[in-house]
Structure 1
Amino acid sequence: MSYAHTEIAQIAAISSNRCIGKNNELPWHVSADLQHFKKMTTKANADSIQGIVVMGRKTFESMGSKPLPKRVSFIISSQTDYAEKNDLQDRDDAHVVHNLDDALTQAASLAHGAHLDTIWVIGGERVFSDAFMYTDRIELTHVDTEITDGDAFYPELPSEFEVSEESERMHDEKTELGFRFVTYRKTAE
C-alpha cells in the first residue's frame, strides 16, 4: 500500500540480535553506515527539500532534537505541546504530528510537490513496527555484533519481505566491526 505513488521505505542499522539503540544512541559508530544513511535519505534535487524522514520523538531527540540537514522531518509525538516546547512550530524542515497516518499523509503530499519518490521511516522500534503495513522497501545495515545491553530493537521482519539485494561484507577500520547493506522488498501477494 503506497501513498499516491510515493514509496515508503524503512532504513536502520541492526545488530545480530536486532538492537538499534542503547541509551537513545546508536550502539556503534560505523562511518560507512552513516554515509549510506545520508546518501539514501537525501537526493540531489532542484528544490531545497532533498529528502523526507518520519520518526518518533525519541529518535528525533537521539539526533540532538534537530532536523536533519536538507531533509524535512516528521516527528510523531503524543505530546500536544511538543512543537512549542522544542521551538519547532513555524519551521519548514520539521513538523510534529500525533500519529503515523498523519505523518505519512502529510509527507506524501510534500513528497509529491517536491518531486521526491521515497518517504523514509527512520525509527524507532514502534514506528518501524506500525509502518510495516505501508512499507514497500526496507534498507538494513546488518552489523556483525551482539549488543547485550541495548534497549531499542528492530522488529522481526514480516514474512512478505524478501532480500532483493545484498552488498559484500565490509569492515569498519575504527570499530573493527563487519557489516553489510541488505535491501528487502515486499513481495506481491
Structure 2
Amino acid sequence: MSYANTEVAQIAAISSNRCIGKNNNLPWHISADLQHFKKMTTANSDSDIKGIVIMGRKTFESMNSKPLPKRISFIITSQLDYAQKKGLENCDNAYVVHNLDDALTQAASLAHGAHLETIWVIGGEQVFGNAMMYTDRIELTHVATEINDGDAFYPELPSDFKAAQESEQMNDDKSGLDFKFVSYKREKSR
C-alpha cells in the first residue's frame, strides 16, 4: 500500500476486547509497552527528526498537549483555531492539520527529506480506522485483560493483515498484566 513510497504503520496497545482507551487515557500503565512505543517510533537516524507520528486531537491532549521528544507530531482536528489555542502555530515539531490526507501527505514529504522509512499512526480510534486503508504494518501490544468500561477501541484487523512476528508472553510486575508484542503485515494481493 504505502503512501508516497513511505511505509505507514500503526502502533497501539489493545485489551482482549480491543479497548485502547478509557477517559482519554491508556487503561493500564506497562513500562515495557511505553519503551516499545518509544523504540518503534524513534528511528536511529542521523537526522534531527527521529520519527513522525500522526494522531487525533484527543490523543495529543492525552499526552498533556506536548509533542513527543525527537519526533514530529501531526495533530488532526476539525477545530480551525486549534493551533492558536494550544500555542502551536510557530512550533517546529508539531503541525495541526484538518484531515488525514493532509497529515499523510505532509508527513510523507517530511519523512522523505529526513530519510525516514515509516510514518507512525498512534491513535485514537477514529484515526486508526481512517488510516487503515493506507496502512502497511501494524504493531500491537496485546494486553491480556478485558476493559469493560473503556470508551475507545481499536478497529478489527482487515483480513489481509497477518501476524509476521510475535514476542513471547511477558508480565508487567507493577500491574500484574500479561502482554505480548505482535507485528502484522499486509499481504500483497496476487
TM-score tier, shorter chain, comes to: over 0.9
2:85 equivalent to 1:85: yes
- Residue identity matched to 2:35: Q
Over the aligned positions, Cα root-mean-square deviation in angstroms equals 0.6
Separation (CA, whole Å) in 2 of partners of 1:47 and 1:156: 35
**1:31 aligned partner:** 31
**2:187 aligned partner:** 187
Q: Measure how far apart 1:91 and its partner are.
A: 1.1
Q: Measure how far apart 1:46 and its partner are.
A: 1.5
- What's the CA shift string for 1:86-140, capped at 9, x where partnerless? 0001111000000000000000000000000000000000100000100000000
**1:101 aligned partner:** 101
Q: Measure how far apart 1:48 and its partner are.
A: 1.0
Q: Measure how far apart 1:38 and its partner are.
A: 0.1
**1:70 aligned partner:** 70
DSSP 3-state at the match of 1:68: coil
Identical counterparts, % of pairs: 74
Separation (CA, whole Å) in 2 of partners of 1:18 and 1:109: 32
Aligned length: 189
**1:61 aligned partner:** 61
- What's the CA shift string for 1:11-64, capped at 9, x where partnerless? 000000000000000000000000000000001222111000000000000000
2:26 equivalent to 1:2: no
Separation (CA, whole Å) in 2 of partners of 1:132 and 1:187: 14
The runs of 4+ residues in structure 1 deviating greater than 2 Å are none
- Residue identity matched to 1:153: F
The alignment's TM-score, normalised by the length of structure 2, stands at: 0.98
Separation (CA, whole Å) in 2 of partners of 1:47 and 1:183: 26
Q: Measure how far apart 1:4 and its partner are.
A: 2.2
DSSP 3-state at the match of 2:40: helix
- Residue identity matched to 1:21: G
Separation (CA, whole Å) in 2 of partners of 1:134 and 1:77: 19
**2:122 aligned partner:** 122
Listed as ranges, the gaps of 5+ residues in structure 1 are none
- Residue identity matched to 2:170: M
